[in-house]
Structure formats: structure tokens, C-alpha cells
Amino acid sequence: MAKFLTNREESYAQWYNDLVIKAGLAENSAVRGCMVIKPYGYAIWEKIEAELDKRFKATGHVNAYFPIFIPKSFLSREAAHVEGFAKECAVVTHYRLKNDPDGKGIIVDPTAKLEEELVVRPTSETIIWNTYRDWIQSYRDLPILINQWANVVRWEMRTRLFLRTAEFLWQEGHTAHATEEEAITETRTIIDLYANFAEELMALPVIKGVKTEAERFAGAVETYSIEAYMQDGKALQTGTSHFLGQNFARAFDVKFTDKSGKLDYVWATSWGVSTRLIGALIMSHSDDNGLVLPPRIAPIQVVIIPIYKGDSGIEEMRPTLNSLREKLEKAGLSVKVDDRDTHKPGFKFADYEMKGVPVRIAIGPRDLINNTAEVARRDLLTKETVGIDSLPSLIPSLLEEIQQNLFNRALELREKNTHYPDNWDQFRDIIENRGGFAMAHFDGSAETEERIKQLTKATVRCIPEGERGEAGKCILTGNHSEGRVLFAKAY
């Protein structure tokens, strides 16, 4: 199987697409821009969902569910929001189909036209803040710390599996607070939570920062993001947390009485990560043989493949396989024994390599005699023969080592490809020829940002927290710069 994957050198985009298909993660559906998330891809999403959900709950959040439809008029309430979201979206105009009088299948029933069109949610701030109005009267009703796991639809013209699809899965948090300070603290708590999740679970080093006005969420006062480095030198925004000020409270008239009896608008945040994270996983760790998964996010952490001949061969091995599996599962690992007789070991080796299973244990007839096994690690593609009895203690620490190695490798790659250009020529050379992150001085104006984007396709990914260095001069205009910001081409 592996030989059919396009090399990254040849075409990174084609390699990515091949990998998603061949590892069985997702595929395009019959509906333009919508993907089918296949069981193996969905199993990764389930791991992401379970771990994030645990962390949201540990920080006091609860889940709820709001309607998939948003009345069209809601979108125009918040001036900036409508510009960002109302445009490319799926619009429901009718609520009935009927048999075609000409007998050709079914047609939309023209008499079943909605009075007001409904938009399939591209994000839920509007419907949620319209609901919060009835939930909030006094400071006693605050804070509201709600998250929702849901599907959303944005009618993207160019789609790519996981990275940009018309429908995707995500979580969206929507919180309401009595004070500005508390809302800002919430926004930061969440971006820290996302960063820790990305680094600890996904082995993905991220840069935390705030967005410029041009890149800010439509309707936000401040957008915090985490940005990750992809192997091809581009950046991928892997999570955002927005401080919304009182914008949505004003738009939907959500006021509360504070402790002193004064009436004020409620302060808001919203934040989300999506199935895009799976795209980030792929593009940061994988290689020309296929997916490479960090053990903590891998649906299968260890695969055991017996090499045998005929029914008697496998029966002879069964006690060894079962005992090993039991011991590894007892150690808390997710283990699969693949003893199918419909596929040859070589096929299985390539298949689990393609699927990025962190550790493969192969046991053949000679191993059975010697009480040994061949242990292969996916990250380094190395193999060694070890005693079977040592596996229950060896494998958990090996998985931790792989997890750490993937993080270190990704961090090194990013650091190697993070440059500090001091003038326009250096900047342009990095963006256009060398690729990677450019930490550069910038005067902070929207005009300069737009010109740089037009000239190079690079955008300000974020104004990083800390590590911006000293003040300097803008690479394009020479104007004053308060510190370096992160420029890159982005997904």
C-alpha cells in the first residue's frame, strides 16, 4: 500500500490527500464540499473530543445544544458578524417536497415557502445570545459557561478534507460574564487549555498570541489563537478564543442587574476547535509511508501481528497472544491483535504503518520458541527483537518516548524554519523561497498588513505572547514596530 502514497517532495498537497484516503480517515461525499469521516478518522476525533470535554468540565463548563437553524434576520444584528458569516452559507427556503406532477421524481413544493429563511449555522453566537436574553436577569445568573459539540456549515468554494470543508464538526463555547475582566480571563483560560491540549495530547508545539484586526473573528474585540507549524512551512490556526466584549449582548439586548443594582450589558466570549485538528495532526507528524500518530491520540496504540501458517499455527500462538494482549490492556493501552487469515503479514505491516499505529509487535514461529517478539516504532521506523516478558513494562514507556520524540521533532522543525528577517528582501526571500515562519517587525497598521499580504500571500498569524523581542522598524514601511510578529502563509 505505502508505495502508492505520493512523496511529500513531489507534491505536498497530493501527499496529504492520498494519505487521508489511504489511511481510511475521510473521503469526499456526493455532496459538494462535505466529507464522510470514516471510522478510523472518526476514532481520532472521538479521542480529541473525550479529552477536550474532560478539560472543559474540569474548568467548570457544561454542555448544551442549540438549534442548527438561525433565522436570517439574526445574522444582521451584529454589524461586523454579518460581514464575516452571512455571505457563504446554506439557506433553507422551503419545508416540503412533493411528487413532480410530470412524474419525474420529487420537486420543491412552492407553496411551502418559509416566511423567513433559515441559515444552517456557520457559528452559533446569534442564536445563543438570543436565548441567553431570557436566561439572564441578575449577576446571580452569571457566569454561564456553556459548550456545544455540533456540526456547522460554511459554503467554502475550495475545500480540502479536514482542513476546509463545507460541513465540519467542532465544539463552540459561549460564555456570559458580569465583568470585562472575568470574560478576558475566560478567553485566556481557554486559549491556554487549547495550547496545553495541542502540546500534551497532539504533540503539536503551538505559538499563542492575539490576532490583528484584519484576522479577528467577525464580532470580536480580541481574538486569541494558537498557531502550529506544518511540514511544508505554512501555518495552521488550530484553535481560537474570542473576547466578544458587549457586542453580542448589545445586539441581542442582554442586560443584567449587578450587585449594586445597576443595569449593564453582559460580557461574552466564544471559542472553538474543529475537525481541522486532524489535518494539523497529519501535516505535522506524518511521513511518506503514511500517518504518524502521537500515542496519546492514537485509537490503536499497539498492534500485535502473529506470523503463522494455517489453523494449527495460529492455535499454537493463541495463548501467547492473549496473555500479551491482556497484560498490555491492563497497563491501560489500546491494543489490537490482527490475526486475520485473509491478509498476509506484509500487507498488514504496510497498512498499520499507513494508519500510523505507534507500535507494532510481530511474533513469528521462531519468536514463539525463543520467547521473543519484534517491536517496531512508527516514528523512527526502527525495529528490535526483545523478550516477550519484558513487553508489558517496555511498551508503556516506549509510547511515552514516542510521544515526546514527536513533540521534540515538530518543535525542532519549527525552530529550524523560524526566521528573523530584518528587512524586506530577507522577508520576501523567506516567504517566497525558503518557506517557514518569519518573525518580523511590523508597524501594526491594517494598510501595511494588507500590502504585505498582496505582495507575498503571507499574513500576520498572531502577535505572539512574550518573546517579541525589542522594538524596531517595520520591514515594509520602516515605521516604528513594538516588536516582532509572526508572519507566514497559512492554511
- Residues in contact with a second copy by CB under 8 A are 29-31, 34-39, 42-43, 45-46, 62-76, 82, 86-98, 105-106, 108, 117-120, 127, 130-131, 140, 146, 150-151, 153, 155, 167, 169, 342
Strand 382-387, strand 472-473: pairing: unpaired
State in angstroms the smallest separation of the CB of 121 from a second copy: 10
What is the DSSP annotation of 180-204?
Answer: HHHHHHHHHHHHHHHHHHHHHTS--
State in angstroms the smallest separation of the CB of 178 from a second copy: 13
State in angstroms the smallest separation of the CB of 171 from a second copy: 13
Closest CA to 50 of 280, 218, 299, 244: 299
Q: Which is nearer to a second copy, 92 or 381 (CB)?
A: 92
Q: How many CA atoms lie within 13 A of 158 on its CB side?
A: 1
Would you give the DSSP letter of residue 110?
T
Range 479-482 contact pairs with CB under 8 angstroms and sequence separation of 24 or more: 479/443, 479/445, 479/448, 480/443, 481/441, 481/442, 481/443, 481/444, 482/444
Q: Give the span between the Cα atoms of 340 and 159, in whole angstroms.
A: 37
Q: Which is nearer to a second copy, 110 or 466 (CB)?
A: 110
State in angstroms the smallest separation of the CB of 33 from a second copy: 9
Q: Which is nearer to a second copy, 67 or 478 (CB)?
A: 67
At 36, give phi and psi (nearest 5°): -100, 120
Q: Which is nearer to a second copy, 169 or 391 (CB)?
A: 169
CB 339 within 8 A of CB 350: no
State in angstroms the smallest separation of the CB of 244 from a second copy: 20
CA angle 110, 75, 186 (to 5 degrees): 140
* Start-to-end CA span in the chain (Å): 28
304's CB contacts (< 8 A; 6+ apart) are 321, 324, 325, 335, 336, 337, 338, 360, 361, 362, 363
Q: Which is nearer to a second copy, 61 or 377 (CB)?
A: 61
Q: Give the span between the Cα atoms of 246 and 183, in whole angstroms.
A: 10
At 361, give phi and psi (nearest 5°): -115, 120
State in angstroms the smallest separation of the CB of 380 from a second copy: 29
State in angstroms the smallest separation of the CB of 299 from a second copy: 9
Q: What is the largest CA-CA distance in the chain?
A: 82
State in angstroms the smallest separation of the CB of 344 from a second copy: 13
Q: What does the block give as the cell for 265?
A: 450589558
Q: Which is nearer to a second copy, 162 or 437 (CB)?
A: 162
Q: Which is nearer to a second copy, 123 or 225 (CB)?
A: 123
Q: Which is nearer to a second copy, 31 or 380 (CB)?
A: 31
Q: Which is nearer to a second copy, 156 or 429 (CB)?
A: 156
State in angstroms the smallest separation of the CB of 365 from a second copy: 26
Strand 484-488, strand 437-441: pairing: antiparallel
State in angstroms the smallest separation of the CB of 439 from a second copy: 38
Q: Which is nearer to a second copy, 104 or 330 (CB)?
A: 104
State in angstroms the smallest separation of the CB of 190 from a second copy: 18
User: How many beta carbons lie within 10 A of that of residue 253, not counting itself?
Assistant: 11
Closest CA to 430 of 223, 240, 233, 182: 233
103's CB contacts (< 8 A; 6+ apart) are none
Q: Which is nearer to a second copy, 29 or 257 (CB)?
A: 29
Q: What does the block give as the cell for 15?
A: 501527499
